[in-house]
Amino acid sequence: MRNPFIELFHLSNNLQMARDCCNADTKCLRHFSNTLTWILLNNRMQLLVLETTQTSSTLFIFKALITTPEFPEPPSYRPIPCGLFSPCSVDIGRSFGGVVPKFDLVQHKPVRQATPQRVVVCQATEVDLLDKLEAALRDGAILLLENVTDTLDPLLDPVLLRETFKQQGVDHVRIGDVVVEFNPKFLLFITTRLGSPNIPPHVSLLNFSITELGLESQLLGLVVAEEKPQLQHRRNQLMLEAAQNRRQLQETQDQILQVLSTAGQNLLEDELAINIMASSRTLSKKIATKEVVVRETEEEIETSRKIYRSVATYASVIFLCVMDMSSVDAMYQYSLDWFLKLYLQSIRESPQGLGGEERCSAICHLLVKSVHRVVMHSLFERHKALFTLLLAARLYTITHPGSKATWLYLLSGGGGKLDSDQSPKARPTWLPDLAWQRVLAASTCASLATLQVHMMENCSEWQRFFESTTPHAQVLPEPYTTVGVLEKLAIIKCLRPDALTEAVNFFIEQVLGKEALDVPPASLRCSYDSSMCTTPLVLLLAPGAAPLQALLRLAQELNIPEDLLFVVSIGQGQEKAAEDCLRQAAESGGWLVLQNCHLGDKAWLRRFEMLAHHAFREPNTNGLFRLWMTSCPSEVFPVTLLLEGVKVSCEAPRGLRASILHAYNSHPMSDPAFYDGFTVESEALIFKRLLFGLSFFHALIMERKAYGAMGWNVPYQFTDADLRISALQLKFILEKTWSSEKLTDDKKSMVSQRQPMSAPSISGIHEKSPPDSKSAPKTAKTCLTGIDHETADGEKLEFSSSKIEGLVAESSEVEITEGISSKVIWSASEGVEVDKLPLKALRYLAGECNYGGKVTDARDRRLLHCLLAKVYNDRVCSKQSAELGPGFSVPACLTPSDVVCHAQQLPSVCGAAVLGLHPNCDALKRDAEMNQLFRGLQTLEQNVAGTSVSEEDTMDTVTSKDAGKTHPCKTITSNPLLELTSELLQRLNCDDLFTRSKDLRVTNGVDSEESLKHMSVLAKALQPVFKQELFLYSELLSTIRNNLTVVRSALVGEVPMLPDIETACKSLADGEIPTVWLCKSYLTKKKLVVYVADLEKRLQFMQLWQQQGPPPVMWFSALFAPHSFLTGLRQHFARILHTAIDNVTFKFQVTRIEVADIISQAFQSVEGEPIDKVSLKSTGDVDSGVACAVPGVHVWGFYLEGACWDRAEGCLAELNSTHMHDVLPVLTILPDVIRQPDMNADMATDSASVSDLGADYTDDAPTNGNTQNENSTSANGSLRELYCCPVYRTSARRGDLSTMGYCSNYVFDITLPVGDEAPETWVVRGVAALTQLDE
């Protein structure tokens, strides 16, 4: 039977009307139809839903019963090579206009097979499109318009709208200015490769997107045809016989009906009718007998085909994994033809003569290996692990269907559950709170439902597993020894996320094999060998990649003449040159290297795509022709070239060893004229040492980017061009320095001919002048081109002066040569005096111009100069085999071959210690990579977030006695997302928290002038800060509650599910903070569960501040706007000290008060007692030996990252190997006054009595009045150096520049003693203080 609502659609070609009609039928309505494909077929205009491919939340699913077994076969059996239509053939009838998305999967065979009419094929970019359209309209042909983009040509509108009119009794249509006769047999088919084409509603849509079911059916036929061709041929014959039998039966039935309609009154006397009836009966029996035989044979064939179904299933899953990578990057496009070639190749090359299951396993293994290797060569490094794990997980769930829930938990992490019924106190004592929460969230998986109970009952066994250094290799306690590797991976993620990298690699090795973890890098030679003249080669560029030199070397190896090598860089005015070079290269068999295609115009790229395909199809195209295209990821790159081409990813080398080798194999270091340009041995030795140090420095800063914010606050795009210009400048400066010095020596020798020499001179060696030497060196006033006159420290490079501070020799003045200061270096090992070196100028050029020109963060610029000082220094120049880092040193012999040999012997994988970071950063790096990996996988898996509400979900709401009112927090539902929103609304129901937030007049609960008299000076100063904090938190709470209410209403169907609401639902289900909340929230990187708990503590702190006034120890992390708090403190100190606020700065003192001692008091309940200030005095943090004029402010909530605080010595120290952060003790902020040099008047600080500050801080004030804190002197009384430690709000360390001129993430710098290490050590270490952690 037909759906009556679908029948209404037959009367109108309006999809919206069909939707409105279907709204009346609840069986046709589904919320959140995650996938949808709709097809408008033929002249009957039936709406048919066959499969689901596109994501949409506003459409509905329609069902029609025309694909049931009772649906008759068409007169001629012509199967379309798409699995959706394989059960029954579809006759493409006379639909006037049709669009077939992603038509590359089947080409245009269905159009040719469906009708004997002439088919005219043309591209959307062809110039003669209008002529072909007019000819097809007149002749009644089929026009197939391929590869249209997101917009259709306006010339097609009259044809698509069928705007015909009568002229002399014949239908005509106007195309532009031309009137063309319209043939009613004309058909127009349009194909596009876009996944979601923007097609007008009056155009019929036929979706040929491949699906897993359809692809599996197609691949099964291919493997059976290869393995058992007779079986597949017999199956096709049976299908044709079945269609023929049904057709004969239909013809017989038509004859009987015709006889009955034409027979007279006496049917028994009609001999013709009797004969027809008899013959029909006999034929029906024969057909029935044949049908029985056909069905029995089909069952036997299907039984034989089932042996190879596992191969087809594996292959379909592999191809869909490859297709899903296009959602990660638009450049990851792969065609079905490419996959089928690998599929058939794997079948033919796999070992023969094996049994059924062994043969299938061999085919699957070879197919996985081949596809994985080719795809990995085209992926960027950051996406390789994502594809490998995705492929392994999907193949694993084929053989283990019960593990799908575990896989979904791995991706989401159980983020939708806030708390569990279990109390946190019931957890094992050795297990952290966060790990126990993950264990409780894992109870949603059927295979891990009893994990929490089993851990409580077998604590000792699980503790041994938890404390293991290699948990992935350990055996789980009974009865979890038999669980799969995916379940074991989930358990490791719960208990030991730091070991997740090894566990993921172990899982991949178990599923895909060990070779999947070590895929050899792609080479241009292999890509060239696998291509033809009709295959474009696309090089995908990552930041810092420059493959042109490698291409030129490959051309030399293949003996490609230089006149046949065309290199064009896309830019303004280069389009015509690229088109001419394409034509010349195709005719002569040359190479066309088209660089930076992502910079090309979209319209021109479409034109070039058409020209390239025309060149590929030309019969006179030379077989040696190759089209090389380089491009960064771009949406405008032609999709057809990506589908048909060979893709290779080009990235900067990773690792110190690879980067150094890459530098010495690239220009200019690979040029002998550059590398061996110095003839004097001592000069060449210094140059080559500095050059190796420069290459090490470049590799160092590139490798630090992999460590995120610990390496650089901002990920800068350093490239090989920075290294190249720095190397050229290094040689240029040294040449000028030494050439000018030789000129000076010649002048001195001329003077010595007239004056007796005090000491003999050695050629090429300059002696150190005696201390009493009165000879004054001449100064040169020439300036070096390209060097700025101001260094990073604000010093002036006075090129005409005789010395620069910091570069003066020990016993003589410094001679200025060619405008550059130099320093005399004595090499004791060689017994010679090395030439004077302009190290400071070199550091300035590299640190401020070449590399430093890209650095925007002040702390990063400080780090860059510290790293440069490690390679541009006296030790590297004078000492043989100077150490640059652990395991890395300057080679003793500096010939090109020896340097390359030395670099090849360096460690292939270096740890964080080589980069100057703490070894714990390796674990942080792995954690960040794993988090990014699972976030990327979560976006690929469409069914991870269960945000949809099906018809079976119960959505009963407890209503109040008042009609029409609903309680948003009292919902009886089985939907987890509804339960989550209800719980959030209950937990954040803080209407009584800020009772006076509207008027913002909160003064210890009393709004009267009398209460102001009882407030301390500090409380008065911080009152505006508290008002602002109160307003910001109130606005955040209002936004959260409003959003949760709207989301809940949308889930129960009270309001429509708008896109922003759907986004919020997905974020909540994934355990992320919705974007709407983040717009009004403080900076944070926490997950939803941790964020809600942290927000509750902040609100509790604000409530305590509201009722009891400012606490004696301020929780700095709880401040919504910490910059406002610091401004309030400066204003407070300025009033006490009677000075301008611009003259007030801060100095800091780390006390001995531990944060753990005051947290229990800081979070007292509202009904509890206030914090006891006397208890702070008992910790012994106050040094009463020094008087303090102005007491400071105690703050807490700082976490040191990269170092720890030595409580005994009172300075920075190395972190423990088992910890990532260290809690800094309570910090005291003290005022410091910047005294103007011209001001004679004192600040009159004596007039500021300590009692004026009130009773809040009088007793607890620090007593040290010096500029150094109490930890600034060591135990022996020596003054310690201080490290300016930056304070950030989150671990990201970077933020947006606010309107006030400061970074939203950076707060301020605190000075901390450094102990025995130099401050530069902690700069390179990346030590910073965070106000909050991610977990």
Alpha carbons 792 and 771: distance in angstroms, whole number: 32
Q: What are phi and psi of 973, to 5 degrees?
A: -150, 155
Q: What is the pLDDT at residue 124? A: 75
Q: Which helix (H) or strand (E) holds 827?
A: strand 823-827
CA–CA distances in Å: residue 1159 to residues 1097, 1154, 1180: 11, 9, 18
Mean pLDDT across the stretch 1021-1044? 91
Given pLDDT bands bounded at 50, 70 and 90, which one contains residue 752? low
Q: Which of 1235, 1226, 1236, 1229 is nearest to 1188 (CA)?
A: 1229
Given pLDDT bands bounded at 50, 70 and 90, which one contains residue 1317? confident
Alpha carbons 269 and 248: distance in angstroms, whole number: 26
Query: What b/e readout covers 957-973, taking b as 16+ CB neighbours within 10 angstroms?
Result: eeeeeeeeebebbebeb
Other Cβ atoms less than 10 A from the Cβ of 557: the count is 11
CA–CA distances in Å: residue 51 to residues 48, 84, 109, 400, 885: 9, 8, 21, 24, 59
Q: What are the tokens at 91?
A: 């006759």
pLDDT in tens, 887-929: 888 998 889 899 999 988 888 778 888 899 988 888 888 888 8
What amino acid occupies position 1175? S
Q: Which of 132-141, 790-799, 1163-1172 has the lowest mean pLDDT?
A: 790-799
Alpha carbons 1231 and 799: distance in angstroms, whole number: 41
Contact 147, 123 (CB under 8 A): yes
* Helix, strand, coil share (%) of the chain residues, nearest 5: 45, 10, 40
Phi-psi region of 514 (alpha: psi -120 to 50; beta: other; left: phi over 0): alpha
Phi-psi region of 1141 (alpha: psi -120 to 50; beta: other; left: phi over 0): alpha
CA atoms 676, 678, 681, 686: torsion sign:
negative
Q: Starting from the edge strand earliest in sequence, which strands make up the sheet with 164-167, in order?
A: 164-167, 170-175, 178-181
Given pLDDT bands bounded at 50, 70 and 90, which one contains residue 974? low
Q: Does the bond joining 471 to the residue before it have cis omega, within 30 degrees of 0?
A: no
Given pLDDT bands bounded at 50, 70 and 90, which one contains residue 8? very low
Given pLDDT bands bounded at 50, 70 and 90, which one contains residue 845? very high
Given pLDDT bands bounded at 50, 70 and 90, which one contains residue 423? very low
Given pLDDT bands bounded at 50, 70 and 90, which one contains residue 1080? very high
Average predicted confidence (pLDDT) for the chain: 75
Alpha carbons 1245 and 1133: distance in angstroms, whole number: 11
pLDDT at residue 1257 tops 50? no
Q: What is the pLDDT at residue 249? A: 81
Alpha carbons 449 and 483: distance in angstroms, whole number: 13
Mean pLDDT across the stretch 762-766? 34
CA–CA distances in Å: residue 737 to residues 645, 672, 684, 822, 847: 52, 21, 13, 8, 20
Helix 656-664, helix 896-904: angle, nearest 10: 160
Helix 500-512, helix 381-399: angle, nearest 10: 60
Q: Which helix (H) or strand (E) holds 439?
A: helix 433-441
Contact 98, 189 (CB under 8 A): yes
pLDDT at residue 800 tops 60? no
Q: What is the pLDDT at residue 96? A: 42
CA atoms 391, 396, 399, 404: torsion sign:
negative
Alpha carbons 1074 and 168: distance in angstroms, whole number: 65
Alpha carbons 1245 and 1189: distance in angstroms, whole number: 8
SS (HEC) of 261-280: HHCCCCHHHCHHHHHHHHHH
List residues bridging with 765 in a β-sheet. 762
Q: Does the bond joining 479 to the residue before it have cis omega, within 30 degrees of 0?
A: yes
CA–CA distances in Å: residue 156 to residues 12, 94, 699, 940: 22, 18, 56, 37
What amino acid occupies position 645? G
Q: What is the pLDDT at residue 75? A: 34
What amino acid occupies position 622? N
Contact 490, 408 (CB under 8 A): no
pLDDT: which is higher, 642 or 751 = 642
Given pLDDT bands bounded at 50, 70 and 90, which one contains residue 510? very high
Mean pLDDT across the stretch 957-971? 39
Mean pLDDT across the stretch 315-330? 91
Q: What is the pLDDT at residue 418? A: 60
pLDDT: which is higher, 23 or 36 = 23
Q: Which of 76-90, 153-167, 177-191, 332-346 has the lowest mean pLDDT?
A: 76-90
Which residues have a Cβ under 8 Å from the Cβ of 97 and sit 6 or more positions away?
159, 160, 188, 189, 190, 202, 203, 204
Q: What are the tokens at 446?
A: 């059927």
Q: What is the pLDDT at residue 1079? A: 92
Sequential DSSP letters for 92-149: ----SEEEEETGGGTTTHHHHHH--S-EEEEETT-TTHHHHHHHHHHHT-EEEEEEE-
pLDDT: which is higher, 77 or 870 = 870
Q: What is the pLDDT at residue 585? A: 94
pLDDT at residue 372 tops 50? yes
Q: What is the pLDDT at residue 279? A: 82
Other Cβ atoms less than 10 A from the Cβ of 1327: the count is 24
**pLDDT > 90 in the chain, percent:** 28
Q: What are phi and psi of 1233, to 5 degrees?
A: -105, 130
Q: What is the pLDDT at residue 169? A: 86
Q: What is the pLDDT at residue 777? A: 38
Cα 191 versus chain centre, distance: 32
pLDDT at residue 414 tops 70? no
pLDDT at residue 819 tops 50? no
Q: What is the pLDDT at residue 594? A: 95
Helix 976-987, helix 1017-1051: angle, nearest 10: 160
Q: What are the tokens at 1026?
A: 């508290």
Given pLDDT bands bounded at 50, 70 and 90, which one contains residue 89? very low
pLDDT: which is higher, 1047 or 881 = 1047
Alpha carbons 1132 and 1126: distance in angstroms, whole number: 10
Phi-psi region of 1301 (alpha: psi -120 to 50; beta: other; left: phi over 0): left
Given pLDDT bands bounded at 50, 70 and 90, which one contains residue 305? confident
Q: Which of 403-407, 754-758, 951-955, 1323-1327 has the lowest mean pLDDT?
A: 951-955
pLDDT in tens, 848-876: 999 999 998 999 999 999 999 999 998 89
Alpha carbons 914 and 663: distance in angstroms, whole number: 19
Alpha carbons 87 and 376: distance in angstroms, whole number: 36
Mean pLDDT across the stretch 365-380? 93
Alpha carbons within 13 angstroms on the beta-carbon side of residue 126 total 17
Q: Which of 36-45, 182-191, 1090-1099 has the lowest mean pLDDT?
A: 36-45
Cα radius of gyration (the chain): 39
Alpha carbons 693 and 708: distance in angstroms, whole number: 24
Which residues have a Cβ under 8 Å from the Cβ of 1263 and sit 6 or more positions away?
1182, 1183, 1184, 1185, 1186, 1187, 1188
Given pLDDT bands bounded at 50, 70 and 90, which one contains residue 744? low
Alpha carbons 662 and 39: distance in angstroms, whole number: 54
Mean pLDDT across the stretch 296-317? 86
CA–CA distances in Å: residue 1029 to residues 884, 1023, 1033, 1099, 1198: 49, 10, 6, 10, 19
Q: Which of 11-20, 217-226, 535-544, 549-558 has the lowest mean pLDDT?
A: 11-20
Q: Which helix (H) or strand (E) holds 1228?
A: strand 1227-1233
Q: How far apart are the first and last CA of the chain?
A: 58
pLDDT at residue 840 tops 70? yes
Q: What is the pLDDT at residue 1229? A: 92
pLDDT: which is higher, 1170 or 1121 = 1121
1237 burial via Cβ count (<10 Å: 0-12, 13-18, 19+): exposed
Alpha carbons 45 and 66: distance in angstroms, whole number: 13
Mean pLDDT across the stretch 372-396? 93
pLDDT in tens, 566-620: 999 998 788 999 999 999 999 999 999 999 999 998 889 988 988 998 899 888 8
Other Cβ atoms less than 10 A from the Cβ of 700: the count is 25
pLDDT at residue 1283 tops 50? yes
Q: What is the pLDDT at residue 29? A: 29
pLDDT in tens, 136-182: 999 889 888 887 877 777 888 888 888 889 888 889 999 888 899 99
Q: What is the pLDDT at residue 990? A: 64
pLDDT at residue 416 tops 70? no
CA–CA distances in Å: residue 1053 to residues 30, 714, 954, 981, 1048: 11, 44, 12, 15, 9
